[in-house]
Amino acid sequence: MGFFDKVKELALKAKCGVGIHGGEYSKVSNGPACLYEKTCPDCFDHLTKHMHEYGEFSYRNHYNCTMSRHCAHCEHEDLKEKHQGFTDAGMDDFCRVKEKCIRCDFTKVKKESHSWIEVSRTDTDKTMSCIRCKKMDKQPLTRH
Ligand SMILES: [Zn+2]
Ligand SMILES: [Zn+2]
Ligand SMILES: [Zn+2]
Ligand SMILES: [Zn+2]
């Protein structure tokens, strides 16, 4: 009997030790409505956590893509970056097709688009070169 009590005690300690405490969270009586607390019945730690209730995300300003939403109960602000949309920004000297965010000018590479021509060939592979950016690429010959 003593043995199993010991096992249980160790298990509880192990759980509390990695932050998994028992007990149920309930709202803090004299705090914001998003603040919860509990006291662990095993180690008697007092724990608090926020469960914010957010409104909708909206852009913070017109020149970048940072969106924010506020907790209805406290000052907490949640941020994320979400680009509004991308538009074609042409191709650079390295044949990278780029697109640009319509809101913040963030540019990303969509794909590479080379104009390959074959420049040499061996028994096993062929060497291609892009006539635009001079990039070389060796490709194995497919055997039939
Ligand atoms: Zn605990
Ligand atoms: Zn809150
Ligand atoms: Zn953007
Ligand atoms: Zn190219």
The first and second tokens of residue 55, run together, are: 């409104």
Q: 15 C-alpha vs ligand 1 centroid, how far in Å?
A: 7
What's the CA-to-centroid distance between 30 and ligand 2, angstroms?
14
pLDDT, one tens digit per residue, over 61-110 is 999 999 999 999 999 999 999 999 999 999 999 999 999 999 999 999 99
Among the bound ligands, name the one nearest to the CA of residue 136: 4
Does the pTM surpass 0.75? The reply is no
- Per the structure block, which two tokens stand in for 74? 């406290």
User: Residue 103 carries which DSSP code?
Assistant: T
Position 14 confidence tier, pLDDT thresholds 50, 70, 90 = confident
Distance, CA of 90 to CA of 74 (rounded, Å): 45
Rg (CA), the chain: 30
C-beta separation of 98 from 89 below 8 A: yes
Q: Quick check: 75 and 113 in contact, CB under 8 A? A: no
